[in-house]
Amino acid sequence: MAKNEELVFGIHAVNALINAAPERFIEIWLLKGREDDRIMPIINLSRKYGIGTQLASRKALDEKSEGEQHQGVIARVRPGKSYTENDIDDIILAAEKKSIAPFFLILDGVTDPHNLGACLRNADAAGVQAIIVPKDNAAQITPTVRKVAVGAVESVPLVQVTNLSRTMKQLQKQGVWIVGTAGETDTCLYDVKLSGPMALVMGAEGKGMRRLTRENCDQLVKLPMAGTVSSLNVSVATGICLFEMVRQRSI
């Protein structure tokens, strides 16, 4: 596959991308013999937009997806827009034009693509305007991320920044209050005000936030843990924190 091409697999991911940007499609491979109710919308949209389709065996699709679950559909597409720190001001401005307080998720070194995909799905559901990640030592958009995110990659910009601490200071200058999660704090998530312009920071799997990231947070919070397990999966914890923010922002 050429450098300027990407693979997208999974019914939700392909369907969401066709609806959002059909012009990016080069071709679609479909599992031979599969024409059920879940795959037909993709077939109909490919015909509508003149996207070439090919029938392929399960073995061929398995090889293209490198063993990941493809659900009988794989697309070859052109890359979409890449977001950097230069786009953050525009994202904030777009939110303010809709009278919506800025709402960001910052992932500090989350490297597992399944966790990034799940965080994108959480962010989309919670109304987060963008996810901010470091350019290095962090998961990037991959076919696996797209599949796990079930379409959220197309609705939530993933902003890759060269210096996370500098970006956090940029957000603070724009009036965004930054809350980080850390097990060592005594402050519970449910005891703090989480409305208004907000950014939630979640640390890497196992290690948590880096020192500079922690120091640049305006407040640290933790989830109350009643059992013997000391921490939750980062995507699960992200969902809990984001929806507490959603609850408070809607009051």
Rg (CA), the chain: 20
189: CB partners within 8 A, 6+ apart: 181, 221, 222, 223, 224, 240, 241, 244
- Both tokens of residue 208? 């948590």
204: CB partners within 8 A, 6+ apart: 108, 109, 110, 111, 210, 234
What is the DSSP secondary structure assignment for residue 218, as one 8-state letter?
A: S
Q: Is 223 annotated as a binding residue?
A: yes
Distance between CA 167 and CA 41 in Å, rounded?
Answer: 41
Q: Is 232 annotated as a binding residue?
A: yes
Distance between CA 212 and CA 35 in Å, rounded?
Answer: 52
Burial of 21 (0-12, 13-18, 19+ CB in 10 A): middle
Q: Is 208 annotated as a binding residue?
A: no
Burial of 127 (0-12, 13-18, 19+ CB in 10 A): middle
- Feature table: binding site: 203, 223, 232
- Feature table: binding site for S-adenosyl-L-methionine: 203, 223, 232
